[in-house]
Amino acid sequence: MRLASRALCGAAGAGWRESFPLGGRDVARWFPGHMAKGLKKMQSSLKLVDCIIEVHDARIPLSGRNPLFQETLGLKPHMLVLNKMDLADLKEQQKIIQHLEGEGLKNVVFTNCVRDENIKQIIPMVRGLVESSYRYHRGESLEYCAMVIGIPNVGKSSLINALRRQHLRKGKATRVGGEPGITRAVMSRIQVCERPLMFLLDTPGVLAPRIESVEMGLKLALCGTVLDHLVGEETLADYLLYTLNRHQLFGYVQHYGLAAACDDIAGVLKQVAVRLGKTQKVKVLTGTGDVNVIQPNYPAAARDFLRTFRSGLLGPVMLDRDVLQRPPLAHP
Ligand SMILES: Nc1nc2c(ncn2[C@@H]2O[C@H](COP(=O)(O)OP(=O)(O)OP(=O)(O)O)[C@@H](O)[C@H]2O)c(=O)[nH]1
């Protein structure tokens, strides 16, 4: 995708786009529907667990969760872990909690699984939920088992590893990766605590079969829940730029040493490519013969822009700011 150049460069604050052009994008193509198998396996393991720990990305606390989780696994006590809190702008944390309460979600914890923040809140909460669950009959069993579910790449495996670090002083039991789809099958039980004796089941990330809007698809993609090339790195970079400018997050200007904030992705990627030395020689056929022209490598610049954002270097962001501005739903 090459975007038409617009004359907005340098006009910081003077004309950020009011909306992102969504027309003509087929969101269904970005999210391959091969995840039903994972959900079936999870359903069949449900009888082994006392509680569901749903992990989601704190940058999109109100959107992008898979509604099928509630339908198929909703019988067990449930807690929501909003992970990657280090990457999320949580100035309106209370409002987020109110919105979630409006949806009937009362047990919410914000975590950072890289720095083990708030990890110690999880096990007591699981224990409390299980013990107060009227459906639960513990009998002679003294152990707890919870299933960790969520859409891809939100940090399910990282949470299990963080719990083991905190409670068992043990290292990795489950593989972690920067790309979605690292955990392929429902795995065996992994011990995370001795007292109380608690096991967790890691599961593969499962996205909703239908993503309700293109904008939600773009937010999910920005959080890395789908492989970037399926959406297009430059489209994603443009949505990122649109978001950063609308939220007045101009860290990218300083990070890349740009002349000014700018709402034109082609202009930004060109400067980023030149800064990073990501340029390529292209042969152009002219009337007098071949001429070598130096061109910015737009896809490489887009990849760097996305990577930098995801590592937190451009500052924390709240991608659900628009949803937060609406009044919370009243839960029946
Ligand atoms: N900044 C930040 N990164 C995190 C955090 N938790 C996990 N990550 C990173 O997010 C990426 C995905 O983590 P995983 O634990 O593999 O996620 P998953 O949900 O198990 O992924 P799938 O197996 O694809 O479903 C990795 O690069 C982790 O290092 C966090 O709290 N903060």
Is 15 touching ligand 1 by the criterion CB < 6 Å? no
Burial class (CB in 10 A: 0-12, 13-18, 19+), 45: middle
Cα distance between residue 77 and residue 79, in whole Å: 7
Evaluate whether 78 touches 66 at the Cβ level (below 8 Å).
no
pLDDT at 7 over 50: no
177 CB within 6 A, ligand 1: yes
Residue 152 in contact with ligand 1 by CB distance below 6 A: yes
| 3-class DSSP assignment, residue 175 | coil
Is the CB of 56 within 6 Å of ligand 1? no
Q: Please give the structure tokens belonging to residue 72.
A: 């198929």
CA 214 to ligand 1 centroid distance, Å = 24
Name the closest-CA residue to atom 1, ligand 1: 84
pLDDT digits (tens, 9 = 90+) for 186-217: 557 899 999 999 999 998 898 888 888 889 99
Q: Ligand 1 centre and the CA of 113: distance in Å?
A: 8
Q: If you take atom 8 of ligand 1, which residue's CA is the nearest one? A: 155
Q: Is 4 exposed, middle or buried (0-12, 13-18, 19+ CB in 10 A)?
A: exposed
State ipTM. Answer: 0.99
227 lines ligand 1 (CB under 6 A): no
What global pTM score does this model have? 0.89
Cα radius of gyration rounded to whole Å, the chain: 22
Report how far Cα 198 is from the mean position of its chain's Cα atoms.
27
Q: Quick one: fold of 232-325?
A: Conserved Hypothetical Protein Ylqf; Chain: A; domain 2 (1.10.1580)
- Which DSSP string corresponds to 64-108? ---HHHHHHHTTS-EEEEEE-GGGB--TTHHHHHHHHHHTT---E
Q: Which residues are annotated as a binding site for GTP?
A: 83-86, 153-158, 205
Is the beta carbon of 164 within 6 A of some atom in ligand 1?
no
CA distance 224 to 59: 11
- Could you tell me if 175 and 145 are in contact, meaning their C-beta atoms sit under 8 angstroms apart? no
Whether 48 has a pLDDT exceeding 90, the answer reads: no
pLDDT tier, 3 (very low <50, low <70, confident <90, very high otherwise): very low
Query: Rounded to 10 degrees, what is the CA torsion of 248, 253, 254, 256?
Result: 140
Q: Say if residue 56's pLDDT is above 90.
A: yes
Q: SS3 for 280? A: strand
* pLDDT tens, residue by residue, 261-292: 999 999 999 999 999 999 988 888 888 888 98
> CA 312, CA 326: separation in Å to the nearest integer?
27
Burial of 133 (0-12, 13-18, 19+ CB in 10 A): middle
**Is residue 205 in contact with ligand 1, taking CB distance under 6 Å?**
yes
Distance spanning both ends of the chain, measured CA to CA: 45
Site to substitute for ligand 1 among 83, 176, 309, most atoms within 8 A of C-beta: 176
The mean pLDDT value of the chain amounts to 87
Point out the least confidently predicted range of 3-12, 160-169, 223-232, 313-322: 3-12
Count Cβ neighbours within 10 Å for each residue of 211-231 and write b for 16 or more, e otherwise: beebbbbbbbbbbbbbebeeb
Question: What is the per-residue pLDDT across 228-252, written as a single tens digit (0 to 9) for each?
Answer: 988 999 999 999 999 999 999 999 9
Question: Which sequence spans correspond to the domains of the chain?
Answer: 27-202, 232-325
The verdict on domain 27-202 having CATH code 3.40.50.300 is: yes
292 sits in which H/E element: strand 289-296
Q: Is the CB of 81 under 6 A from ligand 1?
A: no
SS3 content of the chain, % helix, strand, coil (to 5): 35, 15, 45
Least confident of 8-22, 149-163, 194-208: 8-22
- Token pair recorded at residue 71: 């339908």
* Ligand 1 atom with the shortest distance to the CA of 182: 23
Output the residue whose Cα is nearest ligand 1's atom 32. 84
Take atom 21 of ligand 1 and give the residue whose Cα is closest: 153
181 lines ligand 1 (CB under 6 A): yes
Binding residues: 83-86, 153-158, 205
State phi, psi for 248 to the nearest 5 degrees: 55, 40
Summarised one tens digit per residue, pLDDT across range 138-148 is: 666 679 999 99
